[in-house]
Each structure stands twice: as C-alpha cells, then as structure tokens.
Amino acid sequence: MLDVIRSIFLYSWRSEDYIIFVRYLMGTAYLPAPLHKIAYYFFAFLVPKTDFMFFLDVNPQEAATRIYRSRQKQEMFEAIDELKKVRIKALSLAYSNDWKIINSNKPAIEVSTKIKQLAAL
C-alpha cells in the first residue's frame, strides 16, 4: 500500500505521455473476497485512470509455465490452484470496470500489436 501511495506522489502530478501502474489495481485480486473488491475501488479512487486500461489475460497453465521458466523459486500464490482463483477475481474486476481484456497466451509480439491496435482507437 505504501508503494502505491509513493508512486502516486512521485508520478501522478508529472506531465508524462505514459504512466504504468503495474498490478496496483489488479493486485487486489490476491486478497480474500470480498476484501479484493473493496481494495480495488479504494485504489481505483487514488491512482490515475485512462481509457487505455489493459488486462493481459493469461490462463493459469500458461502463467505457471512462464513462472517456472523465469525463476527457480515458486511463491505462495503461484501454484495452479491459486492462479485460477486469482484470475477469476481479476477477470471479474476487469469486466465490471471497462478494462480492455487481451488474450496474452500468445507470443509477446502479437500481444504488443493488439495493445497498439486498441490504443489507436
């Protein structure tokens, strides 16, 4: 939470073309229900928002594969069952809050192209 507040103070007042708040809103999906929704709306009130809020959706199996490939140690929320639970909560937040949901099970270049297409609209 302190990291969110720090980032808001550091970046939200600056004149920048892009500000990326990675995980601050969707990171709330890791919290138990219904606390995840309360935290989401609390942080949504604080962080800058735009029409270009993208949720890069990856199925739990692909997420686990990427996690295992990128590091040796697995964290508590990175087991398949936990990834499934978090994904369901995150998707429900994304759908109910007008996020642009992108299938990110594809190669990075295809995901990047999709983001650019949606940002150009």
Supply the range of the domain harboring residue 19.
2-119
pLDDT digits (tens, 9 = 90+) for 45-90: 877 777 888 999 999 999 999 998 988 787 878 899 999 999 999 9
C-alpha span between 78 and 115 (Å, rounded): 26
C-alpha span between 22 and 20 (Å, rounded): 6
pLDDT digits (tens, 9 = 90+) for 102-113: 999 999 999 999
Q: Sign of dihedral through CA atoms 41, 99, 56, 33? A: positive
Domain count within the chain: 1
Phi, then psi, of 8 in degrees rounded to 5: -60, -45
